Amino acid sequence: MKIMVAIKRVIDYAVKIRVKPDKSGVETNNVKMSMNPFCEIALEEALRIKESGLASEVIAVSMGPTQVVDTIRTGLAMGADRAIHVDYPGTLYPLSVAKILKALVEIEKPGLIFLGKQAIDDDCNQTGQMIAGLLKWPQGTFASKVVLDKEKQTAVVDREVDGGLETLCLDLPAVITADLRLNQPRYATLPNIMKAKSKVIKKLTPEDLKVEIKSDIEVVKVTEPPKRKAGVLVSSVDELIDKLKNEARVV
């Protein structure tokens, strides 16, 4: 069984982001980019399933401009067997990504698609659900535990939901999106980085896959949230009471 993992290149989680002066988006120039943390977790889970013998191959897929290859290399260094880069210079929204993935699924025929639950730049949380809808495959989103059964060709997925944990049994092939507590991703070791250099990255375009990219969404404006007002240090209890009474008006 092949596992396909979709990964996204985003601004590094630890970076302090800045909004561009023209409010058209977030500053990405000279800013550190890395693999989306949830995609990392998804890839890690796929690798573990392969290592336990339940899958034969892990294919990493990413879409976007040429720089995306850096992130793909990280995925290969973690242990993915090969990768596909769908080259597209602009921004891709979840529906377009889902359509491209559907086209790739028809070529590769994987038994399982892993994605991160959402990307940390747009927080959409849509791609996994959309691809499942397009393929008419069962989906287990916000997975915090995945157990495969090769015999029965099912996946038992524990989902993190508002009320607690929900356990679903999905027939394969299926779509699973990873949540934070699914696992702790491995580091890229030097031997694996060395091996990754000889792994294949197939380059395709949306035209090759006969997918038309048209966006129904247009970003109008991006602004920062209002700045939090600084706290005030009071020097005595009386001053505190005075401020509570007269400024905050809560007493």
Partner 1 sequence: MEKWRAADRLLKFSSRFASGTKLTCTIINYDHTHPLVSECCFFPIPFYCCKSKQGKYFYSVATTVHRNPLFSIISPDDISYFKTLLGERGVVQDALALDAANTDWMGKYRGSSKLLLQPKNTEEVSQILKYCNSRCLAVVPQGGNTGLVGGSVPVFDEVIINVGLMRNILSFDKVSGVLVCEAGCILENLISFLDDEGFIMPLDLGAKGSCQIGGNVSTNAGGLRLLRYGSLHGSVLGLEAVLANGTVLDMLGTLRKDNTGYDLKHLFIGSEGSLGIVTKVSILTPPKLSSVNIAFLACEDYTSCQKLLLEAKKKLGGILSAFEFLDSDAMSLVLKHLDGVRNPLPPSIHNFYILIETTGSNETFDKENLEAFLLHSVESGLVANGVLAQDINQASSFWHIREGLPEALMKAGAVYKYDLSLPLEKMYDLVEEMRVQIGPAAKVVAYGHLGDGNLHLNISAPAYDDNILAKIEPFVYEWTSKNRGSISAEHGLGLMKAAKIHYSKSPETVQVMASIKKLLDPNGILNPYKVLPSSLLSQN
Of the residues 163, 164, 184, 229, which one makes contact with partner 1 according to CB under 8 A: 184
Cβ atoms within 10 Å of 31's Cβ, excluding its own? 13
**Lookup result for tokens 């059964």:** 149
CB 49 within 8 A of CB 178: no
**Contact track, partner 1, 56-95, x by CB under 8 A:** --------------x---x--x------------------
Task: Using the minimum distance from each CB to partner 1, give the nearer residue, 28 or 125.
Answer: 28
The Cα–Cα gap between 102 and 134 comes to 7
Terminal Cα-to-Cα distance of the chain (whole angstroms): 66
CB 186 within 8 A of CB 44: yes
Query: Is residue 223 involved in binding partner 1 (CB under 8 A)?
Result: no
Distance from chain centroid for Cα 190: 25
Contact between 15 and partner 1 (CB under 8 A)? Answer: yes
- Shortest approach of partner 1 to residue 133 CB, angstroms? 31
Shortest reach from residue 194's CB to partner 1, in Å: 6
Q: Does 189 bind partner 1 (CB under 8 A)?
A: yes
> Per CB under 8 A, which region of 32-40, 50-58, 87-95, 145-153 contacts partner 1?
32-40
Which residue from 1, 19, 168, 188 is in contact with partner 1, where contact means CB under 8 A? 188
Residue of 5, 34, 50, 135 interacting with partner 1 (CB under 8 A): 34
Query: Is 246 a residue that touches partner 1 (CB under 8 A)?
Result: no
CB 1 within 8 A of CB 112: yes
> Minimal distance in Å, beta carbon 154 to partner 1?
31
* Cα-based torsion angle of the residue sequence 50, 53, 55, 58 in order, rounded to the nearest 10 degrees: 20
